[in-house]
Amino acid sequence: METSLHRELKSLCGDADTQEVRVGEYRIDCLRGDELVEIQHAGLAALRTKTAALVKRHRLCIVKPVIASRRLIKLKRREGEIVSSRLSPKRGRLLDAFAELVHFTQVYPHPRLRLEILLVDVEELRVPGHGRRRRWRRNDFEVVDRRLVGVRERVELATAADLHRLLPDDLPETFDTQQLADAADVPRWLAQQIAYCLHRCGAAELIGKARNSRLYRLAA
């Protein structure tokens, strides 16, 4: 089922008559001039095959929202009254996009492909339930909708060098993944994914090792 967030992001990309169009065997969220636009809340890995096919003949933009903050709104039931509302303690950052890009390096970068990373605030509507989960607890819930509150920031990624725009300014000239984690204030596992993306996409060079750590340098 399409969420309110998806519909609202589509409205930012184009008018209703340019939405949900068919291009060959694929349905596209929106047309923006001669560019196809796909909005992807789920993992980018699910779009690899579709992307590889479309960019052979078309310019494609993939809009990827990253949730900066979410207000959790608990409903008594679907379309029912609000029971509670609170901000989730979890916070998202633009750097979180690398956790998805790590599964997308087979198709990015490409001359006909660009990514728009949107840092957004959302409301998440929940109702009691456990969906298809085998194990469930009394306080289980189902997410029934997400709504856009606002867009904080937008970053366009079209080339390998554009990935540098997501990195901290005080990154050392040569660095390992622990130094990257410290500079970006992210967990080591995410720093490893960032380094993998940078190297695989051509945005960083692997220049050697220090003890057991690989050393990287940003490509010119």
Using alpha carbons, select from 214, 215, 216, 213 the residue that is nearest to residue 204.
Answer: 216
Q: Considering just the CA atoms, what is the radius of gyration of the chain in Å?
A: 20
Per-residue pLDDT tens over the stretch 68-118: 999 999 998 888 788 899 999 999 999 999 999 999 999 999 999 999 999
Over residues 50-62, the pLDDT tens digits come to 999 999 999 999 9
Q: To 10 degrees, what angle do helices 188-201 and 177-184 make?
A: 110
Chain Cα centroid distance, residue 200? 18
SS3 96: helix
- 78-82 long-range contacts, Cβ below 8 Å, gap at least 24? 78/127, 78/144, 80/127
Least confident range of 55-59, 94-98, 127-131, 172-176: 127-131
pLDDT at 131: 59
Torsion-angle region of residue 24: left (phi > 0), alpha (psi -120 to 50) or beta?
Answer: left
Q: Is the peptide bond before 109 cis (omega within 30 degrees of 0)?
A: yes
Which two structure tokens, joined as six digits, stand for 82? Answer: 């609000």
Residue 138: band (very low, low, confident or very high) from pLDDT cuts 50, 70, 90: low
